[in-house]
Structure 1
């Protein structure tokens, strides 16, 4: 059982209930020191199992720790051959990015469309998919079923065959970087905008020009997508945000969380780049909806903004899974097609 599985969460819940029953049944057993020891032991057991069950249910939602090795702080991901087999489904492979610019060495997952092998001379457009916090690239692959949605959209012709990269935002799952280069911390922005593209172009048959590169993200990853696109219009042509924000909400360490890394500030004070943004949220997700409305109101040519709001809808995986298909399709209309 993986720590993000339903079986693990249910097992922990059953254990917590049994511990509570045991605590109740033994509370008045024994006398003197023996009773005190028994009460303490059963109370600790009850508290521990309750915390474990709560943690596993939360992890099932955000997928911060998809394996027990990840929970222990070890990375067990290995390299894979980036040459898919034939068939109607894309293939997921893993690459290790040795970040010469950022100093970060991390594994990334890459979705290769089904035609990747069938078109051996083609170079495909690329989308970097950024996860939320807390979370991990596994959130895209497990809870959001990204590969299934990509297969469906490409097979239906709503999306061109595209390589999609799923990089982590930080070497520490408990550190929120918001995809920025933190002062005295990880240089995540450099990793995502320099090292990941360089590694992908080395190992995969993808387009190198900005017309072939886009970004997508949900929650914190939605902020990452819009912010990185605005900051690097020479690298990305378009970005899609699912319930993202206009500001990082963390302290970066150099004050830019209020200026250069605040998307609303950028649109007010700096020339707007010739890129396209897709801003999606549920109307009940008040912060995300408000920030999307703000960015859309501030935008003007040459920046293009498309909004897509749904009635109701909170800040949840269910909302993002419903929104990802249309967001991938929209991105594909702005990105260049495979080059043959």
Structure 2
């Protein structure tokens, strides 16, 4: 029973209801100090179970803590790619990235398309999929059902067989990095743009040329995708943002949240790189749509920007799940194909 499971959320909810019943039933029991102690104890039990149930329901939506060990601050690690599930035609493996450049050691999930097994000499294009905050890579795998969407798009021929990586962008689940190198904090940008590609190229049969590497993300991960692509056009050819935004909204510690890590500032003041961006959001998500329109207005060749807005739709998992297949398909049109 994981902390992001329906069973855990329902169990906590039942416990909260029982605690409320107990509080009501014992409110006038006993007398004097015993009554006060009983009331305090049952009230504390009622509050604790209610807060626990609320937290588990929220965690079920964002998957910040997919396991109890993650809740305790531990990460599951694995030294070699090993199957973790094979319920679809693609395969999900997990390997540990020991970041010599960033100093971070974290597990990364990887989706391997069916062609990865069928074509044992082929090397495949790669997409790094970045999650939001709060959240974890499990959000892509559970709530957004990314492996199912990838299987469908590849099987239908709308997407080329592609390896998709799901790295964490929050080494500390409670610290929002926005995929940047925080001053006096984790070097997440370096982990994602240097250590993850290096490890993937060592462990998996993937292409190494920048024309075969792309990024996708939702919410904070959407900002991450566009920002990292703009900052590292030598490593990535394309990026897709689902309800992302143009600036990090956090204090990085060196002032770059207002300059080099602000995408609008970059497009106004720096040469624009030869990459392709896909910016998608619901029209009810006013911040995301405004920032997408601003970036599209500022863009000029060699930078290419494509926008796609869904009627209605706020800042939610429902919107992102509906948008992910078209975004993956679009990315595939800009990336290289498997090569032998």
**Do Structure 1 and Structure 2 share a fold, with TM-score over 0.5?**
yes
Q: Does 1:185 align with 2:185?
A: yes
2:111–2:163 CA contact under 8 A, matched in 1: yes
Q: Does 1:168 align with 2:168?
A: yes
5+ long unaligned stretches in structure 2: none
Q: Does 1:129 align with 2:129?
A: yes
TM-score by length of 2: 0.98
CA distance in 2, matches of 1:58, 1:142: 14
Q: Kindly state the Cα deviation for residue 80 of structure 1 after the two structures are TM-superposed.
A: 4.6
1:137-156 superposed matches below 5 A = 137-156=137-156
1:328 aligned residue? 328
2:159 aligned residue? 159
Q: Kindly state the Cα deviation for residue 34 of structure 1 after the two structures are TM-superposed.
A: 0.7
2:2–2:67 CA contact under 8 A, matched in 1: yes
Q: Kindly state the Cα deviation for residue 301 of structure 1 after the two structures are TM-superposed.
A: 0.8
Instruction: Give a deviation string over 1:78-136, Cα, whole Å, max 9, x none.
Output: 24546899997110001111111111111100000001021111110000000000000
Q: 1:86 to 1:37 in 2, by over 3 A?
A: closer
Q: Kindly state the Cα deviation for residue 26 of structure 1 after the two structures are TM-superposed.
A: 1.1
1:180-219 superposed matches below 5 A = 180-219=180-219
1:303-318 superposed matches below 5 A = 303-318=303-318
Q: SS where residue 117 of structure 1 aligns? A: helix
CA distance in 2, matches of 1:194, 1:277: 21
1:240–1:278 CA contact under 8 A, matched in 2: yes
1:31 aligned residue? 31
- The runs of 4+ residues in structure 1 deviating greater than 4 Å are 82-88
Aligned residues: 340
1:267 aligned residue? 267
TM-score by length of 1: 0.98
Q: Kindly state the Cα deviation for residue 172 of structure 1 after the two structures are TM-superposed.
A: 0.7
1:283–1:310 CA contact under 8 A, matched in 2: yes
CA distance in 1, matches of 2:333, 2:153: 12
Q: Kindly state the Cα deviation for residue 156 of structure 1 after the two structures are TM-superposed.
A: 0.3
5+ long unaligned stretches in structure 1: none
1:15 aligned residue? 15
Q: SS where residue 118 of structure 2 aligns? A: coil
1:226–1:239 CA contact under 8 A, matched in 2: yes
